[in-house]
Amino acid sequence: MSMNYFKLYTTLLLAAVLTSCAKVHGPEEGNCTEGETVSISVSVDSRKFGGSATNSGLPDTRLDAAASSLYSGGTLGLFIDYGKNAKYTQSNVLWENDGTNTWAPQIGMLWGKSYDKVGVYAYAPYLEGQNDLSSLTFTIPTDQSDGISEADLLWWYPGIENGAKKDVTANDFVEGNINITFRHALTKLTVNFELASQFKGQNIFIKEAWFHQSMDKVAINFTGSDNNSVPYVRMASSTSSSPVSIKMHNCSGNGNLSCDVLFFPYTFFNTRYKLLTLTLSDGRDYILTYDKELELVSGTAYEMTVKVGKDKLEAGEVTVSSWIDKGSLGDSFGADAAEYSEWSGQDDIAEAYAGGTGTSDDPYQIATAAQLAFLAQECNKEGSDY
User: Phi, psi at residue 176, to the nearest 5°?
Assistant: 75, 5
The topology (CATH level 3) of 10-186+326-380 is Immunoglobulin-like (2.60.40)
Torsion of CA 43, 118, 300, 353, to 10 degrees: 140
Q: How many CA atoms lie within 13 A of 312 on its CB side?
A: 4
Q: Indicate the residue type of 172.
A: D
pLDDT by residue, tens only, the chain of 386 residues: 333 334 433 344 433 333 333 333 333 344 678 999 999 999 997 665 444 443 333 233 233 334 577 888 999 999 999 998 899 999 999 999 998 889 999 999 999 999 999 999 999 999 999 999 999 999 999 999 999 999 999 999 998 887 788 889 999 998 999 999 999 999 999 999 998 888 888 889 999 999 999 999 999 999 998 778 899 999 999 988 889 999 999 999 888 999 999 999 886 545 578 899 999 998 899 999 877 777 788 888 999 999 998 777 888 888 888 775 332 222 222 223 333 333 444 445 455 555 566 665 556 655 555 556 667 666 666 666 65
The domains of the chain are located at: 10-186+326-380, 188-320
User: Phi, psi at residue 5, to the nearest 5°?
Assistant: -125, -95
The topology (CATH level 3) of 188-320 is Immunoglobulin-like (2.60.40)
Return the CA Rg of the chain. Answer: 22
